[in-house]
Amino acid sequence: MTISDQQRLKIEVAKAAVAEVPAGAILGVGTGSTVDCFIDELAHAKIKLQAAVSSSRRTTDRLTALGYTVIGLEALAGPMDLYIDGADEIDPNLCMIKGGGGALTQEKIVASAARRFICIVDASKRVEVLGRFPLPLEVIAAAIPSVSWAVRAFGGEPSLRPGVITDNGHPILDVRGLTIEDPKALETALNQIPGIVTNGIFALRPADLALVASNQGVIRLQHK
């Protein structure tokens, strides 16, 4: 798949996602290159939102530049209607690895505050078992050594993502070599390690719907 082919698929799935957004919604918006396409297509379709809740400064800047009002979760009286985001990998149960763009903590928080989560990806992100993509961990800097020792016990090899500090002010460890056959169990176990702010497994709160773009069109995968 060439870069131009992949960009075309991102635009196609972005357009499909726009069709899922009800007018006047409070919309949670993720982060990444596919989400950038979604935001652009949302504006092009002139979809009116009550407001958007953003998962990163990058997304906030893009939304506000296109005229959308961005609010924080503290402004909500209850759950949002919908959250839309991409993924680095997604399995048949719609569990995901996210965080390649470094926004995993805010993405997980915003996703948890939505009634419905739609994941938008191109077909290259589909896998049978998670783990081919390095698993991101946002960590407290002082805990990098202890977190690294702990995740090696799970069979992974952590490395510090060079030059990256999250919007929350933390570094990211990328863990390679994992075969994540039970995403919920590993997400839960990693949540117990002191010093990990967030891990990039989204299995306790998987997507409700995945829109997957391929050369054969956009398909819909429902959570089982």
Q: How do residues 3-43 score in pLDDT, each as one tens digit?
A: 588 899 999 999 999 999 999 999 999 999 999 999 999 99
CA count, 13 A, side-chain hemisphere, 208: 12
Task: Calculate mean pLDDT across residues 174-187.
Answer: 98
Q: Are 28 and 49 in contact (CB under 8 A)?
A: no
107 is catalytic: yes
Please pick, among 41, 107, 138, 187, the residue that the annotation labels catalytic. Answer: 107
Cα R_g (the chain), whole angstroms: 17
Between CA 223 and CA 175 the distance in angstroms is: 26
In 3D space, the residue among 57, 52, 43, 40 whose CA is nearest the CA of residue 83 turns out to be: 52
Residue 4, pLDDT score: 80
pTM confidence score = 0.94
For the chain, what percentages of helix, strand and coil (3-state, to nearest 5) are there?
35, 25, 40
Cα dihedral 211, 212, 218, 223 sign: negative
Residue 129's alpha-carbon distances to 123, 136, 200, in angstroms, are 15, 16, 15
Domains within the chain, CATH numbers bracketed: 3-126+204-222 (3.40.50.1360), 135-200 (3.30.70.260)
Task: Calculate mean pLDDT across residues 90-107.
Answer: 97
Burial, 37: exposed, middle or buried (Cβ in 10 Å; 0-12, 13-18, 19+)? buried
How would residue 223 be classed by pLDDT, with cut points 50, 70 and 90?
Answer: confident
